[in-house]
Amino acid sequence: MNTIILKQGRERSLLRRHPWIFSGAIARLIGEPESGETVEVVSHERKFLGWGAYSPISQIRVRIWSFSRGENIDSSFFAKRIHNAVTLREALHLPQESSACRLVCAEGDGLPGVIVDRYSNFIVCQFLSAGAERWKEAIVNSLQKIIEVRGIYERSDVNVRKKEGLRPIKGPLWGEEPPGPVVIDELGVNFLVDIINGHKTGFYLDQRINRQLVRHYSYGKDVLNCFAYTGGFGLAALKGGAKSVTNVEEVAGLHDMIEKNLMMNEFSQDCCTNLRADVFKLLRQYETEGRNFDLIVLDPPKFVEAQSHLLHASRGYKDINRLAFKLLRPQGLLFTFSCSGLMKMDLFQKIVADAAIDAGSDAMIRQWLGQSPDHPVKLHIPESHYLKGLLIQTAASS
C-alpha cells in the first residue's frame, strides 16, 4: 500500500475534514504511486486519516476521496457519490426550474477535481486533477447509467490541468457529439449554450439565482449589464420588464449569441443595445458623458489567479465599482461579483465600500449574494464558496 505520512501536527486540517494536503505537510512517502493513484494518508503517529488521490507535480499533493477507513475507492464509490449528487439536485427541484444545472461540483460533492454539468440532453465534464483523470472512465460509465442523455462531452481544456501535469483536452466521451449550440430553458428564458467552445462548460450556471434576482428588480429600469458574455443578466432583466438593457462584452463573436438569444425569446430589439467594448474604458466614457442607469451588473472574469495577484486585482475591483457608483441614479441598484476563490468576502466588501466612498456615494447592502445551490458550499471547505457578490442600493437624492 502506498502511504503518505504527514509531518507532526499537520493532520489538523484533515481532522476538520478539509480534503487538501499540500506538499509541505508531507514527511515521507512509502511506495511509488502513479499520478492519480489512491494512497493511504496517516498522521505522524501512523493514525489513519483518509484515502486520497496522489498528484506528484501539484502543490496540492493529495486530494482526499474519503475519510472512512472502511470505504474502498473503486468504481462503485464513484457511482455512489454521483448518485448522491444527482439526488441532491432533484431534492432542490432544479430539474423543474431549468433544463441545465451542475450535477457534480468537485469538493462540494466529495469528488475533488470533478465537474459535471447538464445542458438539456447533453452532459459536459471537466476532469481537473490527477485523481479525476485516473478515474475518468469509471465516472463516465456511472453517468451513462444514472442519467439519460444523448451524449457526454469533455471540456478539460483549462490551464489548471497543467498544475497537475495534465494536458488540456476536449472532445466526445460517449454518445452523440453536440451538433451545435444547445438550447436550455431557465425559468422561461431560453439560452443558446456553446458546449464545445463556450466559457467554462458553456454557460455560467452558478449565477442562476442571481439572474432571478436581477429579473425581480428590473421592471421599468434602465439596466447596464457589464461583461455580458451571452447576455444572461440582460435577458433576465428584459424578462423582468426592464425599460432598456445595454449589454457590454469585449469578445466580438459573443454578440452573435446575444442577438440570437434575443430573437429566440422574442424580445424587442428596440429596448436592447449590445456593445463590443472594454468595460473599464466604456464606463469612463459614460461618466464623462453624464450617462446613468437604474441597475448595473458587474460580473467580471476572474481577476485573481494567484495570491501574488491579489493586490492588483483589488485595485481593478475598486476601480470598476467606483465607476459603477458614479453611473447609478439615486436609489440605484448595483449587483457586483467576484468569482475569484482567493478573494474573501470581507475583503471584497471593503473594496466595494472604499469604491463607494471614492465615488461620493452613500449606499447600503441590500443582500449578500453567492453561487446557486447546485454549486454546494461545504461548511468545512471555505474554498468551495468561490462566488461572492453584493446587492448594493444607493441612497435617495438629498
CATH, residue 147: 3.30.750.80
Same-domain pairing of 146 and 221: no
For residue 201, the model assigns a pLDDT of: 96
3-state SS, the chain, equals CCEEEECCCCCHHHHCCCCEEEHHHEEEEECCCCCCCEEEEECCCCCEEEEEEECCCCCEEEEEEECCCCCCCCHHHHHHHHHHHHHHHHHCCHHHHECEEEEEEHHHHCCCCEEEEEECCEEEEEECCHHHHHCHHHHHHHHHHHCCCCEEEEEECCHHHHHHCCCCEEEEEEECCCCCCEEEEECCEEEEECCCCCCCCCCCHHHHHHHHHHHHHCCCCEEEEECCCCCHHHHHHHHCCCCEEEEECCCCCHHHHHHHHHHHCCCCHHHEEEECCCHHHHHHHHHHHCCCEEEEEECCCCCCCCHHHHHHHHHHHHHHHHHHHHHEEEEEEEEEEECCCCCCHHHHHHHHHHHHHHHCCCEEEEEEECCCCCCCCCCCCHHHCCCEEEEEEECCCC
**pLDDT score recorded for residue 93:** 82
Task: Output the pLDDT for position 340.
Answer: 81
The tally of domains found in the chain comes to 3
Residue 194 falls inside a structural domain: no
Which residues touch 110 (CB under 8 Å, ≥6 apart)?
65, 66, 81, 84
210 with 280, same domain: the answer is yes
Q: Do 259 and 118 lie in a common domain? A: no
Residues 24 and 98 grouped into a single domain: no
Give me the domain span that covers residue 138: 75-182
pLDDT per residue rounded down to tens, the chain (398 residues): 899 999 999 999 999 999 999 999 999 999 999 999 999 999 999 999 999 999 999 999 999 999 999 999 999 999 999 999 999 999 988 767 789 999 999 999 999 999 999 999 999 999 999 999 999 999 999 999 999 999 999 999 999 999 999 999 999 999 999 999 999 999 999 999 999 999 999 999 999 999 999 999 999 999 999 999 999 999 999 999 999 999 999 987 788 899 999 999 999 888 899 999 999 999 999 999 999 999 999 999 876 666 666 777 788 899 999 999 999 999 999 999 998 877 889 999 999 999 999 999 999 999 999 999 999 999 999 989 999 999 999 998 75
Asked if residue 189 is part of any domain, the answer here is no
Domain boundary at 44, 66, 88, which? 66
Residue 303's pLDDT is 65
Residue 224 lies in a domain: yes
Q: Do 371 and 245 share a structural domain?
A: yes
Residues 305 and 338 placed together within one structural domain of the fold: yes
- The residue annotated as part of the active site, out of 105, 226, 272, 339, is 339
In the residue annotation, 272 being an active-site residue is answered as no
Asked whether residue 196 is assigned to any structural domain, the reply reads no
Q: Say if residue 35 is in the same domain as residue 144.
A: no
What pLDDT sits at residue 131?
Answer: 98
Q: What is the pLDDT of residue 354?
A: 96
Domain boundary among 14, 38, 66: 66
* Residues 139 and 239 both lie in one domain: no
Global pTM value: 0.94
